[in-house]
A = this chain, B = another copy of it.
């Protein structure tokens, strides 16, 4: 005789600080799972009640009172004949724990405290939480189920506990952040652990974006042989049903849907769209505006914005100067027209000339008064000021268009093209920007072909090309990946076949641009090592270059 266990993994967009709203989401989903999916058990993400990552909101004195009230409400209002697992923070003897409560029959039947805290800097787990010291198994339909939260499931010691406790399956609550190919990493880990423990693992995770963090969802299930049996669609809310059939010796996973994995470009494009949409909508901006230059970066940002928010919420501004090519203006206007967004042109010459005249007598005393980065930065800053003035008047969020390659080497102007509240491409390398452009055009052509094919230029001086001051982006991006994401030394990078002079130049630019990055707008994290969250270098230091 087989025992059936119908589980629903609730891949929801829980909101930070919105305890009442999250309780409602939990109640609505539970009722749906019971009545429409005949669920025995529903699993909500890690820290569902307060949202992830609530950061210092966790320290507010009223957090505990609010959580207590929310738990009491759930006891009363959850369907009594459904098992429900909910994550939340909990204070006990002055220690805060990352907990999971098991609700059933109008009561909390058991509480698990997360045992393994991650050390990655996006979580700051040690600032807020004390690790729990005991594993927990619960019984549902006489099936013994081990409960884990977040980092637990990545630890062999946790899997060994579940085996030692003779659990029949593992259920894991998560708020797992996205980076490129993260889903494959999760599934590989789950497969290894399931095989090792000879039990299925059900993995529920949150979806949505919170400031720089992206939660892609990725809820999935593997059977006791380590085969993937269920995968939720990425980047969307879903109540994923999984049916398990337990016999005395075995367990089958049935009636579950395996969504296909997305391509790299599709996953990043969707991640960036969701991140921007959540940031704009959750912060109540009426729309976004950006400077459209005729170049690839602003073209891709415009496409993402219009796709994510709808064309009526996007304003594009072309701000030409003497060095702006006519084709830049034509291409910018063409894309704006194709995408149906508001488009205007504001020339910056009057402001640039006003600055130049005021500064002329001061600079005349100095050795060189030629057009150098000072004058180039002035152009960028006049553009930044214009966008900020428009934003001040209409409340639209200014998007900055710098990509990760530029941010890495400081090829951008503080308070100029770096001015703005959100940077969609902050963690996207220049080569990936091109890949995203081609990917987007493969769905429907919105970015003029010439924007993709012409050599990139900041157009801040006559006939300027990026290639005049930077190595080709193929080389730049790979050297940056090795240095920034892999922590390789200059020597190790040179050994891979790059010219020493090029490598040292790039590394030096990265090192001296740290101060700029500290003042950069927030933007979505799509790599394991983003600027802002994951890479913390001292500005002031005497470390030997590239060592």
Q: Which A residues lie at the B interface, using CB under 8 A?
A: 15-18, 21, 51, 53-57, 59-62, 66, 117, 119-121, 124-127, 210-211, 278-279, 282-283, 344, 346-348, 350-351, 353-355, 357-359, 362-363, 366, 372-374, 377-378, 381-382, 384-386, 388-390, 392-394, 414-415, 419, 421, 487-489, 492, 515, 518-522, 535-544, 547
State in angstroms the CA–CA spacing of A117 and B125 once bound together: 14
Q: Are A362 and B346 in contact (CB under 8 A)?
A: yes
When the two chains form the complex, which single residue of B353, B362, B394, B415 contacts A354, counting CB atoms closer than 8 Å?
A: B353
When the two chains form the complex, which single residue of B56, B540, B547 contacts A16, counting CB atoms closer than 8 Å?
A: B540
Looking at A121, A279, A348, A538, the one whose CB has the most chain B CB atoms below 10 A away is A538
7 contacts between A and B (CB under 8 A): A16-B541, A16-B543, A17-B542, A358-B386, A359-B389, A372-B392, A377-B389
Nearest residue in B to A374 (C-beta to C-beta)? Answer: B392
What 13 additional pairs, Cβ within 8 angstroms, besides A60-B547, A350-B358? A15-B541, A55-B536, A61-B489, A117-B126, A119-B126, A210-B540, A283-B540, A346-B362, A351-B351, A373-B392, A388-B415, A518-B521, A519-B519
The residues of B that contact A392 with a CB separation of less than 8 Å are 372-374, 377
The residues of B that contact A344 with a CB separation of less than 8 Å are 362
The residues of B that contact A57 with a CB separation of less than 8 Å are 537-538, 541, 543
State in angstroms the CA–CA spacing of A121 and B58 once bound together: 14
Nearest residue in B to A356 (C-beta to C-beta)? Answer: B389
When the two chains form the complex, which single residue of B61, B393, B535, B537 contacts A492, counting CB atoms closer than 8 Å?
A: B61
When the two chains form the complex, which single residue of B56, B119, B366, B386 contacts A127, counting CB atoms closer than 8 Å?
A: B119
Q: Distance in Å from the Cβ of A3 to the closest Cβ of chain B?
A: 41
The residues of B that contact A120 with a CB separation of less than 8 Å are 127
State in angstroms the CA–CA spacing of A372 and B392 once bound together: 9
The residues of B that contact A357 with a CB separation of less than 8 Å are 350
Q: Distance in Å from the Cβ of A96 to the closest Cβ of chain B?
A: 11
The residues of B that contact A16 with a CB separation of less than 8 Å are 538, 540-543
The residues of B that contact A21 with a CB separation of less than 8 Å are 542
Q: Are A62 and B283 in contact (CB under 8 A)?
A: no
